[in-house]
């Protein structure tokens, strides 16, 4: 297979045939010889050597190098790496390539610029249009623990601390979205990913991050401590849209200005509800306690809070739009006068049951 055919093959497999922007990324992260090897995957180094004519030792070394760059993925054991495959989709390639401590947002700015250009001009619009057709939300919002900890009857699957406790292995990696926006000078308004990582990985996802050196292992206590900081910053927890406690490999803690899910939905003008289900809760305001500081307006990712001047009041007060509230609790955590709270508005059945084993 020629070099051109190899890159073309890989772009087509990711669903972007003929994309000059994606091709530029591929040329940046792998040499023509590496692309020829990857284009023959899945397979073992011996099989790739037979298909390409390169020496087996060379193939093994190149596929291993691409594993650490987030281009190839071992099938089975991450240590032995006896067989490899290419990324299943663009999202996996995007995340694996950028969500790693091996990159620096200053030194590796060129790579981030290439991804940023491709995302905004090609991938995000197609992602938004695709997700707009989804019949139901694949993810759900998990309320901030600090916003529900004093409430009765919340479920284990909507208690983020319990979700963390259910995991056998936890790791944290840099958020690919926020690393990218930071590198190109579009810094996240909520947090500094270059100073503290916020993307959590579990199970095989965590093992992948640890073995590849893209992230680091966390103890439960470290994960719980990180949880507090995530909620203080105003990031929104997301989880698979079911009552399952395990089996999820990634749990994003999202912001609206960087997220590869939220940004595409905004670009195509479609509600995030096509992708994220609401929690069972909704924010409420005690206007007697509201000081009109507007901190909650700035923290809300869903444009659910307006400031109005109630009849007889000299001050603006916060008002919640129930249709726009996703029940994330971010506003509650950031409300100094404690005028905001979450209240239960949806039944247990709102969260789909976990699939039976």
Interval 270-300: pLDDT, tens: 999 999 999 999 999 999 999 999 999 999 9
Specify the pLDDT at position 3: 66
Report yes or no on 204 lying in a domain.
Answer: yes
Report yes or no on 356 lying in a domain.
Answer: no
Mean pLDDT, all residues of the chain: 95
Phi/psi at 171 (5° precision): -140, 165
Single residue among 88, 110, 136 that ends a domain in this structure:
88
Specify the pLDDT at position 1: 65
Residues 251 and 321 reside in one and the same domain:
no
Q: Exposure of 77 by Cβ count < 10 A (0-12 exposed, 13-18 middle, 19+ buried)? A: exposed
User: pLDDT tens digit string along 182-213?
Assistant: 999 999 999 999 999 999 999 999 999 999 99
The tally of domains found in the chain comes to 3
**CATH number for 29:** 1.10.10
Single residue among 253, 277, 301 that ends a domain in this structure:
277
Q: Exposure of 152 by Cβ count < 10 A (0-12 exposed, 13-18 middle, 19+ buried)? A: exposed
Measured CA to CA, the distance from residue 202 to residue 127 in angstroms comes to: 25
CA angle 246–251–254, rounded 5-degree value: 155
- pTM of the predicted protein model: 0.94
User: pLDDT tens digit string along 100-112?
Assistant: 999 999 999 999 9
Structural domain of residue 243, as residue ranges?
A: 126-277
Residues 60 and 178 reside in one and the same domain:
no
**CATH number for 293:** 3.30.70.20
The pLDDT of 57-62, averaged and rounded, is 98
Q: 219 pLDDT exceeds 90?
A: yes
Specify the pLDDT at position 357: 42
Q: 221 pLDDT exceeds 90?
A: yes
Residues 305 and 250 reside in one and the same domain:
no
Which residue matches tokens 């909507």? 158
Measured CA to CA, the distance from residue 345 to residue 250 in angstroms comes to: 27
Report yes or no on 232 lying in a domain.
Answer: yes
The pLDDT of 5-27, averaged and rounded, is 96
Residues 43 and 153 reside in one and the same domain:
no
Q: 71 pLDDT exceeds 60?
A: yes
| Cβ partners under 8 Å of residue 294, min gap 6 | 307, 316, 318
Q: 134 pLDDT exceeds 70?
A: yes
The pLDDT of 233-261, averaged and rounded, is 96
Specify the pLDDT at position 310: 84
């Amino acid at each position: 297979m020629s070099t051109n055919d190899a890159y073309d093959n890989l772009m087509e497999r990711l669903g972007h045939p003929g994309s000059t922007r994606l091709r530029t990324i591929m040329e940046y992260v792998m040499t023509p010889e590496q692309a020829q090897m990857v284009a023959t995957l899945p397979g073992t180094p011996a099989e790739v050597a037979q298909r390409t004519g390169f020496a087996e030792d060379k193939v093994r070394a190149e596929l291993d190098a691409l594993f650490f760059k987030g281009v190839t993925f071992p099938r089975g054991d991450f240590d032995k790496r006896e067989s490899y495959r290419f990324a299943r989709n663009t999202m996996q390639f995007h995340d694996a390539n950028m969500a790693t401590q091996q990159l620096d947002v200053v030194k590796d700015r060129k790579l981030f610029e290439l991804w940023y250009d491709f995302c905004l001009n090609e991938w995000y619009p197609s992602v938004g249009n695709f997700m707009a057709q989804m019949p139901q939300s694949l993810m759900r919002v998990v309320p901030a623990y600090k916003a529900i900890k004093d409430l009765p009857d919340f479920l284990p699957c909507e208690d983020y601390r319990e979700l963390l406790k259910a995991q056998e292995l936890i790791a944290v990696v840099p958020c690919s979205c926020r690393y990218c926006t930071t590198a190109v000078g579009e810094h996240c308004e909520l947090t500094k990913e270059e100073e503290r990582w916020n993307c959590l990985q579990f199970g095989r996802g965590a093992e992948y991050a640890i073995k590849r050196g893209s992230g680091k292992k966390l103890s439960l206590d470290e994960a719980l401590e990180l949880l507090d900081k995530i909620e203080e910053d105003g990031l929104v927890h997301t989880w698979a849209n079911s009552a399952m406690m395990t089996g999820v490999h990634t749990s994003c803690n999202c912001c609206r200005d960087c997220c590869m899910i939220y940004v595409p939905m905004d670009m195509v003008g479609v509600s995030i509800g096509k992708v994220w289900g609401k929690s069972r809760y909704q924010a409420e305001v005690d206007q007697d306690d509201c000081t009109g500081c507007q901190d909650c307006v700035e923290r809300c990712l869903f444009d659910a809070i307006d400031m109005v001047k109630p009849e007889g009041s000299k001050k603006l007060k916060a008002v919640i739009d129930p249709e726009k509230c996703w029940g994330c609790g971010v506003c509650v955590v950031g409300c100094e006068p404690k005028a905001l709270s979450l209240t239960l508005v949806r039944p247990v059945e709102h969260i789909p049951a976990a699939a039976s084993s």
